[in-house]
Chain A
Amino acid sequence: MSTAFTSIHAGPAPPVPARPSAVGRTMLATVALAVVFGLAARVVELRPIELFRDIGNIGVFLRGYLHPSFGNVGEYAWQCVVTLCIALWGTVLALLVSVPLGLLGARNLSPHPLVYFAARRLMDVLRAVNEFVFALMFVTAVGLGPFAGMLALGIHTGGVLGKLLSETIESVDPGQVEGVAAVGAGRLQVIAFGVVPQVLPNFLSYVLLRLESDIRSASVIGMVGGGGIGFYLWDTIRSFKDGEAATVILLIVAMVMCIDVVSARVRRAAI
């Protein structure tokens, strides 16, 4: 059937300008990626065949873990609570670190490019240094125990959350900020009214995600003397108490699962 549109659709095709070709660039990128990943495979000694040949050894190792022993389960459970507390206060410390750093490290709020640069680099350092390294440092300062672990987690996570915060701030709608600044509001007022309401939901969700991952980190930070269940994890594995180690691992898995469920609930309720 011929519609009125046929007169547009039919007829000779108009001369279309040549489509720019991307073949060369795609090929170059493919070759470059292949080279990078090929070299990286050599470096990590990627030998999948050995994994399958010797897979039985893992079975031997795991057999010891099939019979968890619950003799010390009360102590282990208590250390799980300690671990949770380390993560909770670590996250509080992280907030104290990240909010000022995040504000100063956001290009659209920073009072001066030098301040921006300094805040960004400081956050880089906090993120680059692993929480375990910080834990070793704080253990020498405040001694073995959960306080050192909490400080280490808080400082490292402060760098992570600070970067996330500054990037969230940089992506706010500038119109809404301008609408506040235009009434003659001061810098802090512009932040409180123009920026905070825009970044709060995202930032909250980042904080909860980091709290989850801090609980996982806190469960091993005891290995380096930072308190919590990690000490027993390290101790039982190292002294070949397979049954005990199995109990510790079970408790950690149960705790992380519980936290994931709870935090998903909280995030849905809060945001």
Chain B
Amino acid sequence: MVADRSPAVTLDAVGKVFAGKAVPALDDLSAVIEPGQFVAVIGKSGAGKTTLLRCLSRAALVTRGAIRFDQTDLARLRGAALRAHRTRVGMIYQQFNLVRRLSVVDNVLIGRLGRLRGWARWAALAHHFDRHQREIAFRCLDHVGLLDRVWQRTDTLSGGEQQRVAIAKILAQEPTVVLADEPVASLDLSNGRLVMQTLRRVASAVGITVIATLHHVELARSYADRILGLKGGRLVFDGSPSQLTDAALFEIFGEFEAEPAGRGHGERLGELAAS
């Protein structure tokens, strides 16, 4: 599997204001993501991580500036060109977004849908794929170590396994950029690490760009080449994991907010601790 070369992803003074909101969700964001980089986007809830990813996948449009994949401005994409863009962008979701009642292999084959031409497009409507397509799906599943689950219904798999099926689906899709929105947020830590490892390994093997939002700083540190820190929709950190110092983390995440305590609970819990 040799991917087409990943594009350089350019964020050019990107801003996004949702209708009816005064505060922008994204504000004057600029960065150039080189082909093949593994980028982690970190920040608090509401910092604009998901909005940024939705703009990159063209699920949402920016309201200021522009996002370009190489020279192509995403705002210009319509109809067939937009579908072609989606084929080149692989999505990984927090909730996996696999079709739960379909078999594992069918979900991987869904990754091929945008690649089919001619008669095969029509045959696929009856869930029929030719041997070549099926063999691609088997190899992709093998690559993430889930070939033994190939005929199982997807909702019988654990969360970690489902996310790895989603990675196999991406491999079948042959995108040039992978966008992962909190890929491990609904997994336990060890499954999360396994998924990140798989994602990192396949990204390096194929040489494609990955942009992942993560709220777990340690995971970002261990797997990313580059970390973008968002705060209130602004880019407040852009550097390598080694540059992500405590001071930088404080800048991104700020102080912990105090727990809202009820009247007098402080003292009573104090008594509790004393007794």
Known: A183-B86, A192-B124. A198 touches B99 (CB 8 A): yes
Among A1-35, those with CB < 8 Å from B are 4, 7-8, 11, 14-15
What are 13 A-B pairs at a CB distance below 8 A?
A4-B272, A7-B275, A11-B264, A176-B100, A179-B110, A181-B86, A182-B89, A183-B90, A184-B85, A184-B113, A185-B110, A185-B113, A189-B113
Contact status B271-A175, CB under 8 Å: no
Complex Cα–Cα for A4 and B100 (A): 46
Contact status B95-A175, CB under 8 Å: yes
B89 neighbours in A (Cβ, 8 Å): 182
Contact status A186-B121, CB under 8 Å: yes
Most buried by A among B85, B97, B100, B126: B97
Contact with A along B54-95 (1 / 0, CB 8 A): 000100000000000000000000000001111111110101
Contact status A182-B86, CB under 8 Å: yes
B140 → chain A closest CB, angstroms:
13
Quick one: closest B residue to A195, CB to CB? Answer: B99
A3 → chain B closest CB, angstroms:
10
A193 at the interface (CB under 8 A from B): yes
B80 → chain A closest CB, angstroms:
9
Complex Cα–Cα for A185 and B272 (A): 59
Known: A176-B99, A198-B101. A183 touches B169 (CB 8 A): yes
A194 at the interface (CB under 8 A from B): yes
A69 → chain B closest CB, angstroms:
53
Complex Cα–Cα for A74 and B268 (A): 87
A77 at the interface (CB under 8 A from B): no
Q: How many residues of B contact A (CB 8 A)?
A: 41
Quick one: closest B residue to A179, CB to CB? Answer: B97
Complex Cα–Cα for A216 and B143 (A): 56
A179 CB contact (under 8 Å) in B83, B84, B91, B125: B91
8 smallest beta-carbon distances between A and B, as pairs: A184-B114, A179-B97, A184-B87, A184-B86, A185-B113, A182-B91, A197-B101, A175-B97
Which size class do A's interface residues fall under?
A: 20 to 34
Known: A182-B57, A183-B169. A193 touches B99 (CB 8 A): yes
B97 CB contact (under 8 Å) in A178, A189, A192, A200: A178
Contact status A197-B87, CB under 8 Å: no
Interface residues of A (CB under 8 A from B): 4, 7-8, 11, 14-15, 173, 175-176, 178-186, 188-189, 192-194, 197-198, 200-201
A200 neighbours in B (Cβ, 8 Å): 101
Contact status B124-A4, CB under 8 Å: no
Contact status A7-B272, CB under 8 Å: yes
Quick one: closest A residue to B122, CB to CB? Answer: A188
- Seed contacts A178-B93, A182-B89; 11 additional CB < 8 Å A-B pairs: A7-B269, A175-B93, A179-B91, A183-B87, A183-B91, A183-B114, A183-B173, A184-B83, A184-B114, A192-B125, A193-B127
Contact with A along B105-125 (1 / 0, CB 8 A): 010001111100000010011
Contact status A7-B271, CB under 8 Å: yes
Complex Cα–Cα for A178 and B89 (A): 13
B263 at the interface (CB under 8 A from A): yes
Most buried by B among A180, A183, A194: A183
A189 → chain B closest CB, angstroms:
5
Contact status A183-B268, CB under 8 Å: no
Complex Cα–Cα for A7 and B273 (A): 11
Contact status B110-A193, CB under 8 Å: yes
A180 → chain B closest CB, angstroms:
5
A182 neighbours in B (Cβ, 8 Å): 57, 86, 89-91, 97
A178 neighbours in B (Cβ, 8 Å): 93, 97
A201 neighbours in B (Cβ, 8 Å): 101
B203 at the interface (CB under 8 A from A): no
B228 at the interface (CB under 8 A from A): no
Contact with A along B132-147 (1 / 0, CB 8 A): 0000000000000000
B269 neighbours in A (Cβ, 8 Å): 7
A174 → chain B closest CB, angstroms:
9
Complex Cα–Cα for A188 and B93 (A): 23
